[in-house]
Structure 1
Amino acid sequence: MDIDWAALGQVFGVSLVATIALVGVFTLGIVGASSGRTQSAHGGGASVLARTGSYACFALCAAAVAYGIYIITAP
């Protein structure tokens, strides 16, 4: 049995970068959702922008998860 260490390293690197990116985007969504609540008492367009950005971050996370499930289940 022969292990292709270069391919294993590539898979590890891509998985690490994708994980860090997905967690970062989800964190931005949480921060945007929570900052929209604190600014809503003060009014203004900042809370709308923060809420829209957090929805976009959550949609990106959902799309990434759906793509991963598609890749796993594709024939």
Structure 2
Amino acid sequence: MRSVEVEAAAVDPRDGLRTVLALRRLTARLETLHVARAREQGMSWAEIASELEVTRQTVHKKHGRTAGPPRWDIDVDL
């Protein structure tokens, strides 16, 4: 099996960068869905933060809003 580094070296950088962007967007969507589900099932911000290996403040800042779109630092310049 080839390593990630070997596979990446064989890909046009533009294709690789587009893949990274697509993965970031997918990851952000999955995180939003799972955090919402966790909150619906009664998990605290601290429990969610622990599972995501971030601080409670970080997860609450990103997902705790009740109005407006979610805040995605990775999509700021899109």
TM-score under structure 1 normalisation? 0.51
Distance in 2, matches of 1:51 and 1:26, equals 18
Percent identical: 2
Identify unmatched segments of 5+ residues in structure 2: 1-10, 50-55, 64-69
One-letter code aligned to 2:43: G
Q: 2:75 aligns with which of 34, 50, 61?
A: 61
Distance in 2, matches of 1:51 and 1:18, equals 28
Q: How many residues get paired?
A: 51
- Deviation of 1:43 (Å): 2.6
TM-score under structure 2 normalisation? 0.49
* Counterpart in the other structure of 1:16: 15
One-letter code aligned to 1:19: R
One-letter code aligned to 1:27: L
- Does the C-alpha gap of structure 1 residues 16 and 32 become closer, same or farther in structure 2, counting only changes over 3 Å? same
One-letter code aligned to 2:24: V
Q: CA RMSD in A?
A: 2.9
- Deviation of 1:51 (Å): 7.1
Deviations 1:4-50 (A, max 9, x none): xxxxxxxx711111100000000011001101110112131217638
Tell which structure's C-alpha radius of gyration is larger. Answer: 1
- Does the C-alpha gap of structure 1 residues 17 and 50 become closer, same or farther in structure 2, counting only changes over 3 Å? farther
The structure with the greater share of residues assigned to helix is: 1
Spell out structure 1 runs of 4+ moving beyond 6 A: none
